[in-house]
Amino acid sequence: MTILTPRKISDLEYRIEQDSEYGMKVPVVIYANEYLLQKMIFDRTIEQAINVSTLPGVLKQVVVLPDGHQGYGFPVGGVAGMDAEEGIISPGSVGYDINCGVRLIRTNLTENDIRPKLTELVDHLFNSIPSGLHPKEGCVQLTTSQLDEVLVQGVKWLEVNGYATKNDLDVCEENGHIQNADPHKVSELAHNRGAPQVGSLGSGNHFLEIQKVQEIHDKEAAKTMGVFEGQITVLIHCGSRGLGHQVCTDYLKICEASYQKYGIELPDRQLACVPNTSEEGESYRKAMNAAMNFAWCNRQMITHYTRRTFESVLNQSESDLEMNLVYDVAHNSAKVEKHKIDGKEKSIVVHRKGATRAFPANSPDIPKKYQKIGQPIFIPGSMGSASWILLGNQNSLDLTFGSTAHGSGRIMSRTQAHKNYNYKQIIEEMQAKGIVLKSMTRYGVVEEAPEVYKDVDMIASISHDLKIATKVARLVPLGVIKG
């Protein structure tokens, strides 16, 4: 299709007005600078956002965040709100890795405390936490009935079984448990793929990093989170593994076979969808929610074994180390939320694909601990680059359905990365920065080189300047584990 030219509204906002000739029901708004916009125009990001704007029940505007890039049908770094009664739900608009997300663990340690044992810590973590595309087993093996309990109860099941604390639940999105999850809507194949993978890191851009807080930008928020300059933290980025991937695969097939009977016309079959209130839509949501609960449990089990590793290597207890969860936030989901549309509150299905919630202070859906400051957000970097802690802001509700960027966003394909970089080169760069890196494969390191991503500082700054999520702290890696 011909790409409509985005009109510049400001230095950080571009807009494509609703155009009925293209079937658009709402405008497309891109929050980016000129450099990032050109990257989006180069691939199919803008075209995909226009396609989303044609879907039934889409409301207000389709949003592309600064980390936006081409995805499966729906752009990664995209947000769209669909009328909960008259709109659709779309598996491809959530993505294959349902509830891929990020969590941050704080400690009371500094770099001087761990530098002498950093290599040992990284080695121990690498050996304790299965990683890679097809790990033979996770940290905990579940029977079919136990897996079903995990899919329904989420992290609550791990708390009962000694793998999580009450604080872990209190500072996890949805308290680590989203309701209306039904394991009977999850296929046997998805069950089989998920059962051995609880507590495994996965591959691709998933990682565990030991980091240092380099800069504090919001002292009040940092203090509330228990974060201080020079502090050692651990950032975990992974999702629902094979179970979530299979749920998406299964329901894409169901939607591809069903959408026409509902009179839905698609600009791209990858956007296959069904009415939110249809039998197929309800079934997908229940399966998606089960996968979300699985993902929170996956990150929680990794947290448990991270704590045990620090205890073992540093010969101190978890409580002595004050290894508390700061927050856990998802970035691939479709949730029913209430938002103001044309001044009226409506229930809408917010599809966030490669986008994270960014709710402001006093929002009922964020933990009591953060009611006065807003919801913590994490934008992870890639190996040698920084990561950011941000804070949800009121502007997010007005501009982005309460959302912000989830990462820095790729600017180079994996194939191109192999042409431009090699393993030895990247390892030498990491060593020069004092970063200890362990990876299951060499090609995974090359594909996730820092240079294949956009500048994470630029992404965080755009979010901050738009006041959809504001800067709290900048973190830099010391030790990295990749699948």
pLDDT tens-digit map of 340-361: 999 999 999 999 999 999 999 9
Torsions phi, psi for 184 (to 5 deg): -70, -15
Quote the pLDDT of residue 442: 82
Structure tokens belonging to residue 436: 């200890």
Rounded to an integer, what distance in angstroms lies between the CA atom of residue 400 and that of residue 351?
11
Pick from 12, 67, 98, 84: which is nearest to 379 by CA?
Answer: 67
Rounded to an integer, what distance in angstroms lies between the CA atom of residue 419 and that of residue 409?
19
Residues with catalytic annotation? 406
Helix (H), strand (E) at residue 451: none
> What is the residue type of 448?
E
Quote the pLDDT of residue 48: 97
Pick from 107, 128, 121, 111: which is nearest to 304 by CA?
Answer: 128
The CATH number of residue 376's host domain is 3.90.1860.10
Give a yes or no: residue 58 inside a domain. Answer: no
Quote the pLDDT of residue 177: 96
Determine how β-strand 88-89 pairs with β-strand 101-110. unpaired
Name the domain count of the chain.
1
Quote the pLDDT of residue 147: 96
Rounded to an integer, what distance in angstroms lies between the CA atom of residue 410 and that of residue 452?
6
Give a yes or no: residue 119 inside a domain. Answer: yes
Quote the pLDDT of residue 186: 98
The residues of the chain scoring below 50 in pLDDT are: 1
pLDDT tens string 345-403: 999 999 999 999 999 999 999 999 999 999 999 999 877 789 999 999 999 999 999 99
Quote the pLDDT of residue 136: 52
Rounded to an integer, what distance in angstroms lies between the CA atom of residue 129 and that of residue 423?
23
- 349 with 86: CB under 8 angstroms? no
Give a yes or no: residue 379 inside a domain. Answer: yes
Q: Which residues pair with 347 in a beta bridge?
A: 338
Pick from 397, 318, 314: which is nearest to 361 by CA?
Answer: 397
Quote the pLDDT of residue 137: 54
Give a yes or no: residue 108 inside a domain. Answer: yes
- 351 with 90: CB under 8 angstroms? yes
Quote the pLDDT of residue 175: 97
Quote the pLDDT of residue 239: 95
Residue 128: which domain range?
Answer: 101-482
Give a yes or no: residue 289 inside a domain. Answer: yes
What is the three-class DSSP state of 256? helix
- Sort 346 into a burial class: Cβ within 10 Å, 0-12 / 13-18 / 19+: middle
Quote the pLDDT of residue 3: 67
Give a yes or no: residue 292 inside a domain. Answer: yes
Give a yes or no: residue 65 inside a domain. Answer: no
Q: How far is CA 358 from CA 162, 329, 469, in A?
A: 30, 9, 6
pTM: 0.95
Give a yes or no: residue 51 inside a domain. Answer: no
Pick from 298, 309, 132: which is nearest to 199 by CA?
Answer: 298
Say which residues have a Cβ less than 8 Å from residue 62's Cβ, sequence separation at least 6: 26, 27, 28, 29, 49, 50, 52, 53, 78, 79, 80
Rounded to an integer, what distance in angstroms lies between the CA atom of residue 396 and that of residue 408?
18
Quote the pLDDT of residue 168: 98
